[in-house]
Amino acid sequence: MAEFTMELNDEQKEVRDWLHGFAADVIRPAAAEWDEREETPWPVIQEAAKVGIYSLDFYAQQYFDSTGLGIPMAMEELFWGDAGIALSIVGTGLAAVGVLANGTEEQIGTWIPQMYGDANDVKVAAFCSSEPDAGSDVASMRTRAVYDEAKDEWVLNGTKTWATNGGIANVHVVVAVVDTELGSKGHASFIVPPNTPGLSQGQKFKKHGIRASHTAEVVLENVRIPGSCLLGGKEKLDERLARARERAKAGGERVKNAAMATFEASRPAVGAMAVGTARAAYEVALDYAKTREQFGRPIIDNQGVAFQLADMRTSIDAARLLVWRASWMAVNGKPFTAAEGSMSKLFASETAKKVTAQAIQILGGNGYTREYPVERMHRDAAIYTIFEGTSEVQRLVIARTLSGMPIR
């Protein structure tokens, strides 16, 4: 187990500087254009693929970093560049991790390369879990997967929503209900291969922020996929369902808490994204305050501005420390006895909203225009308190963990 540290090692610093350079030289110059276009920034993704950032190998290296700091460091730097473009670059990773976590070696080797493509023909993937009536309440999921034993095929029906890359993806990973009696424990994940009949894109959402990231509904109408597309395989699923039924009889709430612990481990990465956006807005505001003069002196000489900047920097550093602690705990198997994963996501996401709003205030009228990036950063920051569990859900998880109450 790696010791907890607040200092990046030389290799991590080299990766951080490399990512920062890409964010500064490639992502930032393109950010305003793709935000206005509200389209997937394929040329930027291709550039990321050429240098090795858009690849499974890169994210695997960061994911298996024993300090736990690889992923949050990478997320912070990319989202410092621009949240919408960064999400387009990292969004495929959601589906890839789903396959890595649940798939067989053959499935991993077959499908993940098809998710990324190559530098000359980049592809994206989509992870489809949320539904119109099942966002935070995953137990309300309605998409069904029924096994056709005669043909060894699964038949999927339902509608997914808020899917990053939904409908434009080469490969979709879809979570569906296979046993309605087991709640979230009756779910399974499936690969929907490219060009499968019955899968279509529904509504594409025109969003307040992260507009360079494609978000849409995915409609599944009698989508038939081979039995081999069930992640982990049928035998493993049957064994898992049998265990879940026994556990539910012995104490269903304990099963639900175990499931919630899995979600806890993924939340620090979202916190790191929020830290990147907050840091970017803070740096713009700091530079502006140093150079903007009113009444014969830089506005940073005014306590009203200086104190805001002090609070902004303090909150950003505190958020990063919470994210790093939770990331280290997750990779080293430390239990989140106080919902530390939710703590990090909650504090970082609320910090991003507050800091970006303060940055606009410091820039005054200029901050409210699209000539300066803080307006876009403020719009982007709003998503962090919503996806991967709203702030209200994070507070509920933390409160119930501390009190010992069941998390439903």
CATH number at 36 reads: 1.10.540.10
Whole domain around residue 25: which residue ranges?
10-122
Q: Is residue 255 part of a domain?
A: no
pLDDT at 251: 62
Which residue ranges of the chain lie beneath pLDDT 50?
253-262
How many Å apart are CA 348 and CA 70, to the nearest integer? 18
Q: How many domains does the chain have?
A: 3
pLDDT at 253: 46
Q: Is residue 289 part of a domain?
A: yes
pLDDT at 254: 46
Angle at 216 between CA 211 and CA 221, to 5 degrees: 170
pLDDT at 135: 66
pTM value is 0.92
Catalytic residue among 217, 264, 340, 388: 388
pLDDT at 263: 55
38 counts as catalytic: no
CATH of the domain at 295: 1.20.140.10
Q: pLDDT digit string (tens) for 174-211?
A: 999 999 888 878 899 999 999 999 999 999 999 999 99
- Claim to verify: residue 290 and residue 370 sit in the same structural domain: yes
How many Å apart are CA 257 and CA 243, to the nearest integer? 15
pLDDT at 264: 60
pLDDT at 261: 43
How many Å apart are CA 157 and CA 218, to the nearest integer? 11
Report how far Cα 190 is from the mean position of its chain's Cα atoms: 20
Q: Is residue 4 part of a domain?
A: no
- Claim to verify: residue 295 and residue 317 sit in the same structural domain: yes
Q: pLDDT digit string (tens) for 111-159?
A: 999 999 999 999 999 999 989 887 666 678 899 999 999 999 999 999 9
- Claim to verify: residue 130 and residue 116 sit in the same structural domain: no
φ, ψ for residue 255 (rounded to 5)? -65, -45
pLDDT at 329: 92
Domain boundary residue, one of 223, 249, 275: 249
pLDDT at 249: 75
pLDDT at 265: 62
